[in-house]
Amino acid sequence: MMKVLYSPMNCLLCGSAKLKPCYQPPTLFNSKYFYYYQCAPCGTINVYPLPDRKDLEKMYNYQDYHLVYYTNNNNRKNSRDSCLSTFLKYTPGGRVLDYGCGTGEFLDTLYKSRFETYGYEPNSEIANKLNCHKHKMIYDADIVNGKYEYYFDIIYLGDVLEHLVTPYAVMKNLLGLLKSTGYLYIEGPLENNFTLALLTIKFLKSLQKKIIPTITSVHPPYHITMMTYNGFVSFVKRLHLEILEENVCEKDWPWPIDFSHLTIEKFIKSTFAYSSKMVCDSIFGKYMKWGNRIQMLARKNY
């Protein structure tokens, strides 16, 4: 049985101090090592140490991040079309804040649907470009000084929560911007939630670490938390939110389902990914909340 370690940090989602080593090898970025610890109670994997300001600036520069992950992303577009349908189900319009709006594609979609659009983007170069007649941008000072207190009908976070170094503090501040009758919509990955694909990856990486104990990855620690469904729900309850709708599903990640131009490796990965998706999409998988992505609509419960 793996011994539980008491790390210098608490779990960023549930607050527990019981963190243990996990299958993820450390990663080297910006001349420092980042390690991964799993929370014993909720299963969330946390990065330690947390990236500092210089790390974040290097990680999220426009060329290496926004151009790579926001340009021509069909999965992101399909997901946000689903979000828009949910918004319109609960409110015909109003003020929407897209927190972590990136290059503003979803803001454009919301604007066309007659929402009053506001965005927040930590990259000041992008934020200043978006701050035009269509969209209004808000900044950290606006959030802290209460300029938009109880102002928004909907606050949206798409693939943002897992990037936050202080998710609880950020969410508490954002909830102060939400009307008492407003809605919070969060969607993003559940990277440590059960799927057959993840089970296979965990086995292979754990085996790799046993064979090569000093193995290290070299990639930016973009995701500060890798969540489970239970960890996500515990975080939502910690914020005193009532969940109105939720959908846990599996996307073909990290192995895409692609049976064209096959190689042996591609065939094996696609087969595992397809089987994993079928299991998570089954009645039992839905009941167990298996899958690697969540969409959730909530409101204040206080």
Domain membership flag for residue 185: no
pLDDT at 185 over 60: yes
Domain membership flag for residue 38: yes
Domain membership flag for residue 37: yes
Looking at the 3D structure of the chain, how many domains does it have?
1
Domain membership flag for residue 84: no
- Amino acid at position 118, single letter: Y
Domain membership flag for residue 200: yes
Query: Which segments within the chain are labelled E, that is strand?
Result: 5-6, 18-21, 27-29, 32-39, 45-48, 94-99, 115-120, 136-137, 152-158, 178-189, 225-226, 241-249, 293-300
Residue 24, CA distances (Å) to 36, 135, 252 in order: 6, 40, 20
Domain membership flag for residue 138: no
Confidence band of 5 (pLDDT split at 50, 70, 90): very low
| Spatial distance between the Cα atoms of 252 and 249, rounded to a whole number of angstroms | 10
For residue 241, the cross-strand partners are 300
Confidence band of 3 (pLDDT split at 50, 70, 90): very low
Considering only CA atoms, which of 3, 88, 82, 89 is closest in space to residue 38?
3
Confidence band of 8 (pLDDT split at 50, 70, 90): low
Q: Please, what is the average pLDDT of the chain?
A: 91
Residue 172, CA distances (Å) to 137, 187, 247 in order: 20, 17, 23
State residue 72's pLDDT score: 61
Domain residues for the domain of 39 are 5-51+194-225
Confidence band of 78 (pLDDT split at 50, 70, 90): confident
Residue 177, CA distances (Å) to 131, 146, 147, 172, 193 in order: 19, 8, 9, 9, 30
Confidence band of 74 (pLDDT split at 50, 70, 90): low
Domain membership flag for residue 46: yes
CB 242 within 8 A of CB 65: no
CB 229 within 8 A of CB 198: no
| Spatial distance between the Cα atoms of 35 and 7, rounded to a whole number of angstroms | 11
pLDDT (mean) for 116-135 = 86
State residue 4's pLDDT score: 43
Q: Is 177 helix (H, G, I), strand (E, B) or coil?
A: coil
| Spatial distance between the Cα atoms of 17 and 7, rounded to a whole number of angstroms | 7
State residue 302's pLDDT score: 75
Domain membership flag for residue 15: yes
State residue 66's pLDDT score: 78
Tokens of 171: 């969410």
Report pLDDT digits (tens) over 221-269: 999 999 999 999 999 999 999 999 999 999 888 888 999 988 999 999 9
pLDDT (mean) for 70-94 = 82
If you search the block for the tokens 């910006």, which residue do you land on?
30
